[in-house]
């Protein structure tokens, strides 16, 4: 049964939820933990498709069709690992990758966090800009993003 606390509020449900499983002998806590792990995998798949264009590649050769998903997944994994190592080094994810003000609390690292961190480093790190021959400011980035 669904209900709302106020007319414009979220829909809440009072009925119990069920998790279907084939292993009836497994501990319930373990089963729920495995479900949560699986959910994280699904979230990663959605991020890869929506933010990195995993399903939108326009490829011509069979070899590219085989290698493209591997390349995207590898680059995502490297960026994600680098961010986690940076979080370990700095001690707090909010320090190394500050979240938007409207976030109540951080749950997981997203591709948007990684992109935000890369953009900030490209603008603020002078040595990196010189090495990569990139000359960008926040104003130029905002102008290009709004165009």
Q: Is the pLDDT of residue 147 over 60?
A: no
Of 9, 30, 51, the residue that ends a domain is 51
How sure is the predictor about 27, in pLDDT bands with cuts at 50, 70 and 90? very high
> Both 85 and 135 in a single domain?
yes
Tell me how far apart the alpha carbons of residues 147 and 144 are, in angstroms, rounded to a whole number: 5
Tell me how far apart the alpha carbons of residues 67 and 76 are, in angstroms, rounded to a whole number: 14
Task: Average the pLDDT over 77-105 and give the result.
Answer: 69
> Both 45 and 66 in a single domain?
no
Domain-embedded: residue 57: no
Domain-embedded: residue 5: yes
Task: Average the pLDDT over 44-62 and give the result.
Answer: 83
Do 96 and 87 meet the contact criterion of CB atoms below 8 Å apart? yes
Three-class DSSP category at 147: coil
Stated pTM of the model? 0.57
Point out which residues pair with 13 in neighbouring strands. 2
Tell me how far apart the alpha carbons of residues 86 and 96 are, in angstroms, rounded to a whole number: 7
> Both 83 and 44 in a single domain?
no
Domain-embedded: residue 29: yes
Burial of 6 (0-12, 13-18, 19+ CB in 10 A): exposed
Domain range for 6: 1-51
Task: Average the pLDDT over 87-106 and give the result.
Answer: 62
């Amino acid at each position: 049964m669904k209900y709302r606390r106020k007319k414009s509020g979220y829909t809440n449900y009072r009925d119990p939820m069920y998790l279907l499983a084939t292993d009836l002998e497994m501990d319930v806590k373990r089963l729920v933990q495995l479900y949560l792990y699986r959910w994280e995998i699904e979230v990663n798949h959605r991020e890869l498709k929506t933010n990195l264009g995993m399903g939108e590649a326009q490829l011509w050769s069979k070899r590219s069709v085989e290698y493209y998903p591997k390349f995207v997944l590898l680059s995502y994994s490297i960026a994600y690992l680098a961010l986690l190592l940076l979080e370990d080094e700095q001690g707090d994810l909010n320090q190394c990758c500050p979240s938007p003000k409207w976030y109540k609390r951080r749950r997981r690292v997203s591709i948007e966090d990684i992109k935000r961190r890369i953009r900030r480093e490209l603008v603020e790190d002078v040595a990196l800009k010189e090495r990569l021959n990139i000359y960008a400011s926040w104003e130029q980035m905002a102008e290009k993003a709004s165009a």
